[in-house]
Amino acid sequence: MKTSAIILRVADFLKGFPPFNYLPDEALLELARSGRVQFCEKGEILFDQGTTHGRYFHVINKGSVRLVRGEEQRLSDLRGPGDFVGAGAVLGEESHTDSALVDEDSILYALDASVFTRLCAESPRVSRFLKVYFASEEVETETAHHQGPSDWRGGREEHLARLKAGMVTGPSTQTVREAASAMSAADSPVFLVVEPDGKAAGVVTETDLRNEIATGRVPTMAAVGDIMRRPVITVSPQATPQDALLEMIRHGIRHLCVTEDGTPQSRALGMISENSVSLAQGRNPLALVREVRRADSPSSLRAMGEELDLLLAGDLSSADDVPWCTRLAAEARRAMFRRAELWAREKAGPAPGPFALALTGQAGRGELLTATNMAAVGLTSDDEKTRAWTQDLLGRIDEGLAAAGFPAATTSDAQEPGARYRTIGEWSEFFCSLVRDPIGGEIWKQMAFFDLSDVAGDPAMLEAVFTALREEMAARPNFIRLLANDALGNLPPVTIYEGYAVEADGLARETIDLQDYALGPVSDVARVFHLDGGDLHATGTFERLAAAARRFPQGADVFAQGARAFRVAQYFRAGQGLRGGDDGRELRPAALNRTEQVQLKSVFRDIGTLIAFTANHYGFKG
């Protein structure tokens, strides 16, 4: 079918925006051909909330559309060129969840929803994008595929030259003894058996030699063709370290053959070993943690912290990686803390009496994707010597951590002098007085203390404090409700529009503090449900939300959405922080690509839903 320039023009416009760019050209043309071009003036209503979806949904070509909800016409989104409105029918919604008002004179493409629905069903990527757009699901970001160490040590050319130079090859008729000798001479762990035309025929590894020769199963004069492994798994010279790693994992092998076109049908160029992949990937996480435990100075710890950041930046290629990377980061940074604590204890000498150390706030929850401050608090026995010793120990740990590159506590984390170490009785009284008079005690400044996790010393001391706190909380059920009220304070922005974060009152901000407006609200809500369940040991926000979903199944979806939002916000923050070498809090939405902006919008929406659920659960007006 011949396609006119008009249809091509509309299809071209659509192609510039997700999810239309995921559709094949033919599908895009079909969609464009199904449509109408409309001009709408400022103030016109496209559709009203609650009305059923019509035949068409709209893609904004020029101008903007405001989505509002409820009688008070609360802003729920602002959409501009490339955004679409009224497409809920595609996801099976019966009626419009918002009203759509034309915000300025606009050109809209009205496209046939049934055609789009069919095309979406044929494209999983489009369907997935729409779920993010309308509800809550993560989408692969464009950048996800480009993050991390995507190149080989020294670059691709050097990598190819290296693997060519290191390749040990021979015909299948060569004896095992000759092959072993060639491998030994070249210090190569692998021997590639090649055909006369240079194609890979099989592989013999050191392990094969050990298994076959050393055990006497095969004589050393046997031909390598008799013991070689086949088929040879091949990759192209363009394969990245991640590609190579995936292939190795997929086939359970430690060597890959690089061929001219990536198939076994072309000439072999060299061998990639697991070692070269892990060198390019940064460091083996387990090896890194082992090294942290053996670090001999704060400066070496600092270098390991930088390596950890590199490793995380490499592994964090989508929001799905956040939970695993969070666990890895927490393990590694807590190991760093323990190392600093060990040095401090070596200098402070033996403890005069019982003591314990606990991490607070993000460190207590183990949410340490970026290097945040690791300020610990101390529990000490009630004698002056141990008090002084604990104070000295905390100071030395702070010094060690600072020298190891950890940021110092910010003013909001600072506590009054002497408040970082207390006896069990003093800590118990501190918590109980907060529970008795949360407002007078300015509890909102002290929330980090409700995320305590023991890190050194006698864990029973922290348990004793928890017992006292638990009893006090049980006696004052209104305390949790007040905590919930506090957790509802920082509402996330409503949307991202033209690179600005737009709040419900229309205020537009160029940057957004991810901690205050995205991560903080979720972790605050998660803490409320966690404490409400009577558990005082700090756990991570993901675990808390999962536990809340088990206790309140009617909110399971909302908690899952909150966890997703937390994961995506962590991903943005960590990505920024690991790239920028800071804590990644400040995010400029304008710096995000369109897909990422859509993700961020869904983060805000999900957090809004979680906050509304929490407000409702504890009897506040949403």
Partner 1 sequence: MDSKAEPRYVVFDCETTGLDPSKDGILTIGAVAVRGGEICLDDEFDAILSDWRMTSAVLVHGITQAESARGETEAQAVNKFLAYVGDGVLVGHHVGFDQKIVAHAARRLGRDLPNPALDTMRIALALEERGAFDGREIRGFDLDSLGALFDVEPHDRHTASGDAFITAQIFIRLERMARKAGIALANLIERDDQEHEAR
Residues in touch with partner 1 (CB under 8 A): 2, 4-7, 9-10, 32-39, 41, 62, 107, 110
- Beta carbon nearer to partner 1, 13 or 517: 13
- For the CB of residue 151, give the shortest distance to partner 1 in the complex, in Å: 39
- Beta carbon nearer to partner 1, 33 or 177: 33
Contact 587, 576 (CB under 8 A): yes
- For the CB of residue 39, give the shortest distance to partner 1 in the complex, in Å: 5
Which of 276, 275, 326, 336 has the alpha carbon at shortest distance from 304?
Answer: 336
- Beta carbon nearer to partner 1, 118 or 229: 118
Q: In this structure, what DSSP letter does residue 95 have? A: B
Contact 501, 493 (CB under 8 A): yes
- Beta carbon nearer to partner 1, 105 or 463: 105
- For the CB of residue 484, give the shortest distance to partner 1 in the complex, in Å: 49
CA distances (Å), 584 to each of 367, 514, 575, 576, 581, in order?
13, 8, 7, 5, 8
- For the CB of residue 37, give the shortest distance to partner 1 in the complex, in Å: 4
- For the CB of residue 32, give the shortest distance to partner 1 in the complex, in Å: 6
- For the CB of residue 104, give the shortest distance to partner 1 in the complex, in Å: 11
Which amino acid appears at position 594 of this protein? R
- For the CB of residue 12, give the shortest distance to partner 1 in the complex, in Å: 8
Distance from C-alpha of 85 to C-alpha of 78, rounded to nearest angstrom: 10
Distance from C-alpha of 216 to C-alpha of 486, rounded to nearest angstrom: 73
Helix H or strand E segment including 361: helix 361-365
Contact 368, 329 (CB under 8 A): yes
> Two tokens at 230?
């086949």
> Two tokens at 139?
């989408």
Distance from C-alpha of 373 to C-alpha of 405, rounded to nearest angstrom: 10
Task: Let me know if 258 is exposed, middle or buried by CB neighbors in 10 A (0-12, 13-18, 19+).
Answer: buried
- Which phi and psi angles does 363 have, rounded to 5°? -65, -40
- For the CB of residue 14, give the shortest distance to partner 1 in the complex, in Å: 12
- Beta carbon nearer to partner 1, 29 or 469: 29
- Beta carbon nearer to partner 1, 2 or 250: 2
- Beta carbon nearer to partner 1, 36 or 145: 36
- Beta carbon nearer to partner 1, 105 or 426: 105
3 state SS of 492:
coil
- Beta carbon nearer to partner 1, 48 or 151: 48
Torsion sign (Cα): 552, 555, 557, 562:
negative
Task: Let me know if 275 is exposed, middle or buried by CB neighbors in 10 A (0-12, 13-18, 19+).
Answer: exposed
- Beta carbon nearer to partner 1, 31 or 348: 31
Could you tell me which residues come within 8 angstroms of residue 72 by beta carbon, excluding any fewer than 6 positions away?
A: none
Which of 132, 530, 570, 556 has the alpha carbon at shortest distance from 323?
Answer: 570
- Beta carbon nearer to partner 1, 38 or 490: 38
Dihedral angle over CA of 566, 571, 574, 579, nearest 10 = -160
- For the CB of residue 412, give the shortest distance to partner 1 in the complex, in Å: 47
- Beta carbon nearer to partner 1, 41 or 471: 41
Distance from C-alpha of 63 to C-alpha of 42, rounded to nearest angstrom: 9
The structure tokens 């759509």 sit at 100
CA distances (Å), 248 to each of 159, 237, 387, 448, in order?
18, 16, 54, 43
Distance from C-alpha of 228 to C-alpha of 29, rounded to nearest angstrom: 53
Distance from C-alpha of 509 to C-alpha of 511, rounded to nearest angstrom: 5
3-class SS letters over 500-532? EEECCCCCEECCEEHHHHHHHHHHHHHHHHHHH
- For the CB of residue 33, give the shortest distance to partner 1 in the complex, in Å: 6
Distance from C-alpha of 605 to C-alpha of 586, rounded to nearest angstrom: 19
Gyration radius of the chain's alpha carbons: 30
- Beta carbon nearer to partner 1, 6 or 414: 6
